[in-house]
Structure 1
Amino acid sequence: MRKNLVFVGAAVAASVALLVAQPATASPARPGHHPATDPAACSSSIDAISYSDALNKLEAYGAEVSGLSSLAWDARQNAWVSALDNNGQTTPEYVWSFRNLSDPKVIHAPLILRKPNGTPYDGGNIATDPNAADNEGLAVLKDGDYAVSSETEPSIRIYGRNGVQKESLPIPARFGVTGLTPQGQATSNATLEGLTLTPNGKTLIASMEGALSGDVSTSGDVNSHRLLVYTLGKRGQWTLEKQIEYKTDSGMRIPEIAAYSNDAIIVEEAAWTATTGNEVNLFSVTGLSKAADVSRVTNLGNAPARLAVHKTALGDLVNCPTLGAPALEFQQNPLLDNFEGMAITGRERNGRYGVSLISDDNNSPQQHTRILNLSVKLP
């Protein structure tokens, strides 16, 4: 196991242990923020606090901790949880649990996610494997159940604390993968990637990594992404309330979203090429309850621009300090990797928020499982 843990700035280092240990934990107030002279600054809104590679290629309880594409707080076990996306037909779909994002330690054997009949889901090919799943998003519901989005079908399944599936939420037919279903308009491996629960536990939001083929504009614009908004009814049932349009910057996808209030989220936009490495930009979106419902809009690419939610740029993580991090493939900033999971870790006394990202190493020796801890000023 290789372990890297780096902090920048004395005042920041003093507060980060509390910040990334558990959510809703206040940390000591920081001095005035001056991005021009602050060695931790990625932008005027984001500071890089620390990173850790402690989970990278870790063997625990007879399995490898890898392929982590999500991050959520599980209050019942006082731990962070993250789901394996896929690692072949012989590997079950796991949920790992660990504590302390500044220096994570796995606390017990991973939870295996199973069908209602007890058969484990696995990372096989859906064309030949009836148990295939590709779990990308994870949220812990207020009753302790796990909501998990899989981009294979796609699906959003609810699992009990024992890992057995209890139900599956409704997904509009057009969100299916093209070629797998008659009405499917989604690109394979670019469907329901992000998933988040609002702090009050009443709204579940799922985001499409890519655009539907039906939302491509006449000029070829593929930047219109749909978010599915589910609300919790009085009898405990989840209902699809509406769809929201979010426009990414050109060439970007949406790996993850994270709710920091009952009406606001952080959206991660990302891209990768062999010549530039990973690109990760963070944006905030407020006023979700007032966002237009685009469920009945046939083609968002040709729809009025006013339908899309307004986004506020928080920062480009390529501009963060490197923190001394190593890279296994070319990166403009070696601190970056394939970050696909994100969570709000708490609120500092100065009004900033702790935000942590986790990278999916794709079970590859050329990538890390890395946790990056940030301090973010949010609107």
Structure 2
Amino acid sequence: MRLRTVLVTATATLAAAACLSAAGPAAAGPAVAGPAIGTPGNSPSSNACSSSVSIDGYSDALDKTTYNGTFVGNFSALAVDRDGAIAALSDRSQLFTLDPVTYQPRSVQALASETGAELDSEGLVVDRDGSRLVSSETEPSVRRYGQDGTLLDRLPVPEALQVAPAGRATRNATFEGLTLLPGGHRLLAAMEGSLSGDTAGIVRLQTWQRHGADDFRLSAQYGYRTDTGLGVSEATATPDGRLLVLERGFTAGVGNTVRLYLADIRHATDTTGIEALTGQDDAVRLARKTLLADLVDCPSLGATARQPQPNPLLDNIEGLAVTGRTHGGALRLLLVSDDNQNPAQITRFYRMTVRLPHGG
């Protein structure tokens, strides 16, 4: 999502991800690497953001660069391609293929709507056949593209999730996250903001069920409560069917708030037919969430910021992909910030390790 000021108070393709080394992509450019956090009961390493999450390095190598005449930045989503390369989606309709070690671009292709218009593209999935599922928050929409960028299909979207006046959603607050759940049979899109009529902070998670190779039909919907003043910037499936959810906000003169949560929809209520989600109805179970880390608590690793930040490591983080596992079973993550093509912001990649608590 392009930058908005928000007042704050305080993969789906894991098989493809396994193509990467257990260490994950090495940092390129001005980056700092560090050890993963210790096992439970041990003192956390100096790179610990919390007892569950460590920051292993960062890279500003692509900041304010171009590739074949195309600006490299505005990144809103990441995915691991079938050959282990990193697919990086710009919200200006550009899909880059990046080297998994250096992050340097290998190729770029433009995506477009049925009429040839640019997308406000925010979510990305590389499907098992290599096609790309891309969400745009303009309508919102989810479209399927071939590996060459050819538009193949468009998935149905519930009327209520469409931008007003067609539906109850707010412009620039719709499908921000997109992920395939384990097995590849269910697709999930996360709304960034609340629908009109729903209590502020409660957002909808819409799913589609796959029928056959590429027929996705509307399925269950769930409610998820964000922290006050924050919106969902990404949702990525874990191997056991839970979700890594990034919540993010921005306050002018203060900077970004970015928190990483683990969410579980397995026992949540299907909210498809529920007009208003208030959070007060005991019969409606929202997705359960557990805080993994507030990224303000990560060591800065010597990073610098171009505008006020509570931690100079932080920026407008929007993209998240699972890139592999450690030998101990923890997940390797790659995150990226959206610089909005703004001189005061940075395109920054973050390598992190997260050890998930056992699911209930």
Tell me whether the two structures share a fold, i.e. TM-score over 0.5.
yes
Q: Who is 2:320 aligned against? A: 342
Give 1:304's aligned residue: 281
Partner SS for 1:318:
helix
Per the alignment, residue 30 of structure 2 pairs with 4
Give runs of ≥4 in structure 1 deviating > 3 Å: 30-37
Aligned AA (1:99): D
Question: Match of 1:227?
Answer: 205
**Is 1:35–1:41's contact at 8 Å kept on the other side of the alignment?**
no
Residue 236 of structure 1 and its aligned partner are, at CA, apart by 3.1
> Which of 331, 350, 354 in structure 2 is aligned with 1:376?
354
2:227 maps to 249
Alignment RMSD, CA only?
1.8
Aligned equivalents of 2:252 and 2:208: distance in 1? 37
Contact 1:200 1:262 in 2 (8 A): no
Measured after TM superposition, the shift of residue 188 of structure 1 is: 1.0
Deviation of residue 40 (structure 1)? 0.5
**For residue 151 of structure 2, what is the aligned residue in structure 1?**
165
Normalised by the size of structure 1, how large is the TM-score?
Answer: 0.83
- C-alpha contact 2:133 2:142 (8 A) present in aligned 1: yes
Gap change, CA 1:111 and 1:342, over 3 Å in 2: same
Tell me which amino acid in the other structure corresponds to 1:259.
A
Deviation per CA, 1:245-292, whole angstroms, max 9, x where unpaired? 101111110000110125211111111101321111111123x34421
**Distance change (3 Å), C-alpha of 1:378 and 1:31:** closer
Indicate which of 53, 56, 59 corresponds to 1:52.
59
Q: What is the percentage of aligned positions where both structures have the same residue?
A: 38
Q: Which residue of 2 aligns with 1:177?
A: 163
Distance 1:236 1:262 in 2: 23
- The number of equivalent residue pairs is 329
The C-alpha deviation readout for 1:98-141, integer Å capped at 9, x for no partner, is: 0225x311112x1121345xx6432xxxxxxxxxx200001111
Name the SS for the 1:213 alignment partner.
coil
In 2, Cα distance between equivalents of 1:34 and 1:106? 41
* Alpha-carbon separation, structure 1, partners of 2:305 and 2:38: 31
Cα separation, 1, equivalents of 2:31 and 2:117:
34
- Within a 5 Å distance, the mapping from 1:245-284 to structure 2 comes to 245-284=223-262
Q: Give 1 or 2: higher helix fraction.
A: 1
What is the one-letter code of the residue matched to 1:95?
Answer: L
**TM-score normalized by the length of structure 2:** 0.87
Q: Deviations over 1:201-224 (max 9, x none)?
A: 2211100000001213xxxxx011
SS in 2 for 1:162: coil
Q: Tell me how far apart the structure 2 counterparts of residues 137 and 252 of structure 1 sit (CA, whole Å).
A: 18
Find the counterpart in structure 2 of residue 358 from structure 1. 336
The aligned residue for residue 107 of structure 1 is 106
After superposition, give the CA deviation of every residue in 1:151-197 in whole Å (9 maximum; x if it has no partner).
Answer: 01110011111211111111111111123x2xx21111111111111
Q: 1:147-158, aligned counterparts within 5 Å?
A: 147-158=133-144
Q: Is the 8 A contact 1:185 1:213 kept in 2?
A: yes
Task: Tell whether 2:117 aligns with 1:121.
Answer: yes
Match of 2:269 among 285, 292, 300: 292
Q: Which runs of 5+ in 1 are unaligned?
A: 13-29, 87-92, 123-132, 217-221
Query: Would the aligned equivalents of 2:182 and 2:241 in 1 still touch at CA under 8 Å?
Result: no
Alpha-carbon distance in structure 1 between the residues aligned to 2:33 and 2:213: 46
Aligned to 2:78: 71
SS of 2:76's partner is coil
Give the match for residue 7 of structure 2.
Answer: none
Residues 1:35 and 1:375: Cα distance change in structure 2 (over 3 Å): farther
Instruction: Check whether the contact 1:345–1:355 (CA below 8 A) recurs between aligned residues.
Output: yes
Match of 1:191 in 2: 174
Cα deviation, 1:217-236, whole Å, max 9, x if unaligned, reads xxxxx011100111211353
Aligned to 1:314: 292
Alpha-carbon deviation of 1:36? 5.0
Letter in 2 for 1:100: P
